[in-house]
Amino acid sequence: MILLLASLGVALFYFSWVFKMVADWIHQYPLVKKLPGPKGLPVIGSVMDVIGDTTVPLLFFLDEAKKARARGEQTLTVNIIGRIMTLPLNGAMVKAIVESNDLMAKGKDYDFLSAWVGVDSILITSAEIWKDSRKRLTPMFHYTMLEGYMDTFNKHAHHMVEVLKKERLKGPVDMRNILKGSSLDIIVDTTMGCNFSFLTNPDHPYIHAVDTFTNYVQRHSMEPQMWINWIWFLFYHRECHNALNEMHKLTDEVLKGRANAVKTGDIDLDVKRKPLIDQFLVLEQQGKMSMKLVHFDINGVILGGHDTTSATLTWIFWSLACLPEMQQRCFEEIELIFGGDRDRDCTPEDLKELEYTDRFIKESMRMFAPAPLVQRGLQKDFQLGEAILPRGSDIFMNVFVIHHNEEVYPDNWQFDPDRFLPEEVAKRHPYDYIPFSAGIRNCLGQKFAMQEIKVIVATALRKFSFSTDRDLLDQGFATEVVLKPTNGCNLTVTPR
């Protein structure tokens, strides 16, 4: 009897799921067939065009966007096995999306992240809860707090220099691992108030767990077989679940230790500047947060604060190595600002004086958008330009596609920091450049990230030059949660 009831329950679940899919499609189809974009094959749409390694979908969208712009279109709609995705093709369309109060809901793929960061995370939560989440996190990124983080940024930047001194003796250095470890050390230090030395411990289980989970996030969005529950549980669930357990274990250990230290008086929560975890513990003591919410919010900040930053830095150092004349110009500017002192800490005032280096960083983030996809889910029909997008579909703001709009960025595969001279920026729509997303739900930590990036670049360039015999575009693009180079970032590191 129990088996029969269980079978009936499963059957009802799948029936309701199929019924919803059919109902959505009946509503969507009349609207979708009017939208500009590749029609693909019956039922499966363009799925055959995105199958392959992680570079394939990105190149497909770039090519289709170019065709759509040539036809005078401002949006592009693609069907992947009944999943309808619409891409804005210029800053004006991005503005209509990110400034709309009707498009506050994140897309379906963010649901996968909830197992790590919780359903109430600022990264994925509903519009109603998002406001409270942002209010909790905003104090961490206040300008007075950012100044306080400079000591942490400098400490880890100097540590990275010491590691590079040793690693360079072994031959070309894989900067991906160096920058990933350093970025993770910084975000864990600023959020949890502790140091696991991930930079010198690249085989730490937590690093492997994060890599495994974030890889599954992207694969789950683009590999339809993973959408079928029994296939997921049979072939993929165990590895992903083990990675999640490892990530949660570290957060739990730190949180319990920190909470106990507060109880014993070893940590004073009344100090003005304290790591995020202590700020949350104050709210927990006041009854404004549960320990579960503290746990998930910490995970959310770590996810948002290290992977994107390390990817950004990887592409910056790749660009510096491939473009030696521009690297020299950055170095000379930094030398002038620091008066030739190659050991002192960076200050906020130093960073403000970095003009050419700032433009170089921004051009790298244009060429190689570190967070290439931002999604919104449509809970009702929405008019975007001349297109009416159906409820149940998704908007994909493909940052890579926006940043390679040849109508805005002529010779868009040419690396040119002068695109970010004030007079050039003034010619563009402000949302034609969105490395940190934009609008109401933009990245809360963008100033934190830029400050960290500049400290690491200024510290490293004072000590070393970076080179490679490969060309800038001799690279593949892995579009996971962040954009990663598939052909490595092995650079020759030479002391100055």
Which pLDDT does position 415 carry in this prediction?
98
Q: pTM higher than 0.85, yes or no?
A: yes
Architecture per CATH, domain 111-347+442-495, reads as Orthogonal Bundle (1.10)
Q: Supply the Cα-derived Rg of the chain in whole angstroms.
A: 23
Counting residues of the chain whose pLDDT is more than 70, the rounded percentage is 89
The number of C-alpha atoms within 13 Å of 138 and in the hemisphere containing its C-beta is 8
User: 125: pLDDT confidence band, cut at 50, 70 and 90?
Assistant: low
Residues 6+ apart with CB under 8 A from 80: 44, 45, 46, 47, 50, 222, 224
**Residues tagged in the binding site annotation:** 443
Q: How far apart are CA 357 and CA 200, in angstroms?
A: 28
- The predicted model gives 320-344 an average pLDDT of 96
Nearest to 185 by CA among 310, 372, 27: 310
Annotated binding-site ranges for heme: 443
Closest CA to 414 of 331, 372, 471: 471
Q: Which amino acid is at 44?
A: I
The predicted structure's pLDDT at residue 158: 97
Residue pair 373/98 in contact by the 8 Å Cβ criterion: no
Average pLDDT rounded to a whole number, residues 433-440: 86
Please write the tens of the pLDDT for every residue from 334-353.
Answer: 999 999 999 999 999 999 99
Residue 123 has pLDDT above 70, yes or no: no
Instruction: Share the mean pLDDT of the chain.
Output: 86
Tell me the pLDDT tens digit for each residue of 28-66.
Answer: 666 677 778 888 887 788 888 887 777 788 889 999 999
Helix (H, G, I), strand (E, B) or coil at 377: strand
- For 82, the token pair is 């009944």
